[in-house]
Structure 1
């Protein structure tokens, strides 16, 4: 009897530390080009093994191969996080020196923990549900939001930050990891959404209510407006706005924003140029009935904000961040509170949309409502 697909993927992923340890002890594989070459060989080998493990299946979702392949690299990320934290040694030295030096930064360590724990659990859960013929679209969207946010901060951050002058060939192995989440998001958003069953009467009644008569939605709209204001403010801060308020904030509250690694600056600009329009659209969805897309985009946004805020908060407090760029001890709690709220508000919004989705369902014609009453 074959073990379940998620077990096979889990066991395959456990080979990653062994591969890293072997490469770390073979000098011939510790040069920039051989590291990139071995990375491509490993990528292809893992894909080949995955094809062999599911060849008996008549129909396999192409997303399975992406999720299973990335599961292998999640354990690579976790290995890096544990080694940079001093828990293990002898696995990543060669790769940090000759492959991707930025992986030793505080931001990359927090990113590696997120990939090695959160993404890995998500992948195994999704694969389990995939072969159990259960819905996995929402969990997959959660991952796409998280992964896309990660990549659009990581890659530009490396290029524009202090590691930009020391980019090695292995850095370009990030290209497929950059493209795959966008492809997965396109596939998932193009698939039909499974809508919950809600009676036409309830949909009609909910959609007649104004925003003022829905206190929870009103509060969420105000919180989203506050998140927009905070995103605009920090965007101005990293753009070197000369206002005294911006100067005070970056030097007394979040000096990490001027860390030369580049990641915090890029992240604030991502919030400014990408999260800000999305927050505006989400406020529109709370005000306008029948915006069924809210059920998908709130989950996507949760993944993005959770990942970015985890990395940002963790890196701003991490010992690998120079002391002068860490959050001052006397300002730690207000800064952490604001950043945690920035990640929590999208979660509360997604929970609200999915726990009572009637307001976001497509409006039901009046004649259809009457026919339903007659049937009952």
Structure 2
């Protein structure tokens, strides 16, 4: 009787700190190119072990290898976060010096906590559901949004921020961590979604209700409008808008936006050019029946915004951020509330679409049921 695959992955992942500790104490492995080579070798070895683990199984989902390999790297990130916050030592010194010195920043520490806890748990859960022949598509879209957004902020932030002049070869290991999740997201989007059985009459009745007769959707639309206004405002702030309101905000309320690490600026620009159009499209989806794409994209978007807001807010409050760029003590509550609300709105929208999808389902002939349950 073979042990559960998720248990094997769980037991394999904690080897990451041991690898880091060994590399930290072997001088030959503490130069830029050997660090990159050793990293690729270790990751390749993990993939090989995974292949051996499931060799007796038929029709293994290709996303298993992505989830399992990335779960190993999640523990690398968690090790870094714990060392930077002083809970452990002797694991990351060599890597931060000759590999990726930008991982010492507050933003990167918060990102590593998210990887080591949230992403790791998501991976184990999705692997369990995968081999239990249960659906994991919705959870996968949530992870894909989170992971892709993480890399879209992290990679450009390193390049344009104060660490851009000190990029080492190991930095380029992040390239597959952007490309592979994009491929995984395309696979997940292409798979049929699982829908509850809802009669056509119920779908039609729900879709005949206007926005004013749907108070929850009306409230969500207003909250999305508020999020759009906040997105535009902070986008102007990081682009050095000369208006007094922008000047006051960046110096007296959220000085983290001008931190030279680059991550806050990239985050706000990502919101301005990508989140803003999506927020507008979601308002359209709440007003127009039959927009089935809302069921997927709200999950993807919620994962992206929750992750970026966790890193942004955490970075603005973390002790590794210079005092002059941290949120002032007397402005802590309003800034904390605004940033939390910005993350909560997409999450509430995704929950609304997931638990009450009738309004977004395609119309079907009267008297029939809408899409029967499909495997994701």
Does TM, scored on the shorter chain, surpass 0.5? yes
2:86 counterpart residue number? 86
User: Which residue of structure 2 aligns with residue 337 of structure 1?
Assistant: 337
1:222-268, Cα deviation, whole Å (9 max, x unpaired): 10010011000000000000000000000000000000000000000
Please state how far the C-alpha of 1:126 moved relative to its aligned partner: 0.1
Structure 1 segment 182-261 matched on structure 2, within 5 A: 182-261=182-261
- Distance (whole Å) between structure 1 residues aligned to residue 37 and residue 354 of structure 2: 45
1:358 matched residue in structure 2: 358
- Secondary structure (helix, strand or coil) at the match of 1:292 reads coil
> Which stretch of the first structure deviates more once superposed, 196-205 or 111-120?
196-205
Deviation at 1:212, TM superposition (A): 1.2
Is the CA contact (8 Å cut-off) linking 2:199 and 2:367 kept in structure 1?
Answer: no
Aligned partner (choices 363, 366, 370) of residue 369 of structure 1: 366
Q: Secondary structure at the match of 1:121?
A: helix
Aligned length: 369
Displacement of 1:351: 1.1
The structural deviation recorded for 1:193 is: 1.1
Q: Aligned partners of 1:355 and 1:131: how far apart in 2?
A: 25
Which residue of 1 is the match for residue 114 of structure 2?
A: 114
Report the CA distance shift for 1:149/1:371 in structure 2 as closer, same or farther (over 3 A): closer
**How far is the alpha carbon of 1:189 from its aligned partner?**
0.5
Q: What residue is the counterpart of 1:310 in the other structure?
A: 310
CA RMSD of aligned residues (A): 0.8
| CA deviations over 1:300-349 (Å, ceiling 9, x no partner) | 11100110000011000000000000000000000000000000011111
Q: Distance in 1 between matches of 2:209 and 2:368?
A: 23
Quote the Cα distance in structure 1 between the aligned partners of 2:352 and 2:367.
Answer: 28
Q: From the superposition, tell whether residues 203 and 371 of structure 1 become closer, same or farther in structure 2 (CA, over 3 Å).
A: closer
Structure 2 residue aligned with 1:266: 266
Once residues 314 and 242 of structure 1 are traced to their aligned partners in structure 2, the CA distance between those partners, rounded to angstroms, is 27
**1:345 and 1:183 mapped to 2: Cα distance?**
27
Within 2, Cα distance between the matches of 1:39 and 1:160?
24
The structure 1 segments of at least 4 consecutive aligned residues displaced by more than 3 Å after TM superposition are: none
Q: 1:351 to 1:278 in 2, by over 3 A?
A: same
Which runs of no fewer than 5 residues in structure 1 stay unpaired?
A: none
Question: Using the alignment, how far apart are the partners of 2:198 and 2:107 within structure 1?
Answer: 44
Secondary structure at the counterpart of residue 340 of structure 1: helix
Give yes or no for the alignment of 1:6 onto 2:6.
Answer: yes
Offset at residue 293 of structure 1 (A) = 1.1
1:47-196 correspondence to structure 2 within 5 Å: 47-196=47-196
Give the Cα separation in 1 of the matches to 2:73 and 2:354: 32
Three-state SS of the structure 1 residue aligned to 2:2 is: coil
Partner deviation per Cα, 1:274-302 (whole Å, 9 max, x = no partner): 00111111111100000111111111111
Query: Secondary structure at the residue paired with 2:143?
Result: helix
How far did 1:213 drift? 1.2
Cα deviation, residue 370, structure 1: 4.6
Displacement of 1:69 after TM fit? 0.3
Q: What is the rounded CA distance, in whole Å, between the counterparts of 1:42 and 1:275 in structure 2?
A: 36
User: Is the Cα–Cα contact under 8 Å of residues 106 and 318 in structure 2 kept in the other structure?
Assistant: yes
Report the Cα distance in structure 1 between the residues aligned to 2:230 and 2:182, rounded to whole angstroms: 27
Q: Is the 8 A contact 2:201 2:367 kept in 1?
A: no
Alpha-carbon distance between aligned partners in 2 of 1:51 and 1:42, rounded to the nearest angstrom: 14
Structure 1 residues 370 and 56: alpha-carbon distance in aligned structure 2, compared to 1, 3 A threshold: closer
Counterpart contact for 2:199–2:368, Cα < 8 Å: no
TM-score (norm 2): 0.97
Contact 2:103 / 2:109 at 8 angstroms: preserved in 1?
A: yes
Give the corresponding residue for 1:278: 278
